[in-house]
Amino acid sequence: MKINDVFALLFLAIPCLVMAQTGALNPSRPVRLVVPAAPGGNPDVLARLMAQKLQISLGAPMIVDNQPGAGGVGAAIATSKSVPDGHTLFFGGTGSILIPVALNPKLPIHPLNDFTHVTGLAAVPTVLVAHPGVPATNLREFITFAKAQPGRVNFGSAGVGSTHHLTMAVFETETGTKMLHVPYKGGSPLVAAIMSGEVHAGFSGIPNVAQAVRAGKLKIFGVSLIRRSKSLPDVPTLDEQGVKGFNIAANMGVQTAAGLPAGLVTLIQAAMARAIREPDVAERMTTLGMELIEDGTDNYVRSVKAEYEHYVAAIKLAGLKPE
């Protein structure tokens, strides 16, 4: 390469470096909102709603880039290797970064070291539901029912190592119950199995079961978050009913590659905080069973660390060996 070419490249790069350090995005370059799910899923819906707001507040075009498959791990790895300039933002979290690495420490990413965690967005809590034939009318009676038959009461999940599976593993430890795990290939088959009586119970996302609960086709015993869900405000939490401190959900936030300049972290966090509180976004989140968790960058970094450690422990409780 000629000396003149080198100087030309440096000349072109300087504006980008200056914008990154001073907390501004390049308005001539699009921002990719990487979604580790197919179009129509919760992360996709949220990203598309927010993209419209972010394009105005951040002053750069937004492109929603769906990268489903492999539980979002491939998209997470690609994000960790991107340039930390604010133009690649990953809508990831529990299912795409934390649980996969906790299950398989050999993956080429580390959730605490390889990402800049910008801010939390939403939590997707689960609810404990059961077939109408289960002889229990509340959580305490269900626990008594399960304790009386160790290893004979079964529960379904959306797959080995899924949030549903690990949530029940913690529940068993906290309540002294021991149930038989029956994994399914996704949340919909899980709910169908509970409704048919193929399994006694399981934790499920709220949108998958809300209608069946209201129709009396499923019993519901509690919400997995520490606070009640806006989607089902009359359903008590497990914590309220004696399983103290129970607080588990699939959390979604915004990440990019490690090394994002502090000015850009502040800029993007502020834009995300405003966008997710817009009335139309908040209303849609309630419909999707999502709960707002945006609470600034520092709190999000702490929560990611705590959640990762939580899932490492939950995997041990479930007896799952790292792959």
* Domain 125-223: homologous superfamily in CATH: Periplasmic binding protein-like II (3.40.190.10)
Q: What average pLDDT does this structure show over 223-240?
A: 95
Per-residue tokens: 162: 């899924």
* Residue (of 17, 32, 213) closest to 130 by Cα position: 213
Q: What average pLDDT does this structure show over 53-67?
A: 97
- Judged against a pLDDT cut of 70, whether residue 318 lies above it is answered with yes
pLDDT tens sequence across 97-142: 999 999 999 999 999 999 999 999 999 999 999 999 999 999 999 9
Q: Give the torsion through C-alpha atoms of 71, 76, 77, 83, to 10 deg.
A: 160
> What does pLDDT average to over the chain?
91
The pLDDT of residue 23: 74
Q: Which residues of 286-315 are buried (b: 16+ CB within 10 A; e: fewer)?
A: eebbbbbbbeebeebbebbeebbebbbebb
- CA 121, CA 253: separation in Å to the nearest integer? 5
Per-residue tokens: 127: 């609810």
The pLDDT of residue 40: 87
- Judged against a pLDDT cut of 90, whether residue 71 lies above it is answered with no
Domain ranges in the chain are 33-123+250-317, 125-223
- CA 11, CA 115: separation in Å to the nearest integer? 28
Number of CB atoms found within 10 A of residue 119's CB = 24
Please give the CATH number for the structural domain made up of 33-123+250-317: 3.40.190.150
pLDDT tens sequence across 242-268: 999 999 999 999 999 999 999 999 999
- Judged against a pLDDT cut of 80, whether residue 17 lies above it is answered with no
Per-residue tokens: 266: 């502040």
* Residue (of 200, 166, 194) closest to 180 by Cα position: 200
Do the domains at 33-123+250-317 and 125-223 have one common CATH topology?
Answer: yes
The pLDDT of residue 6: 44
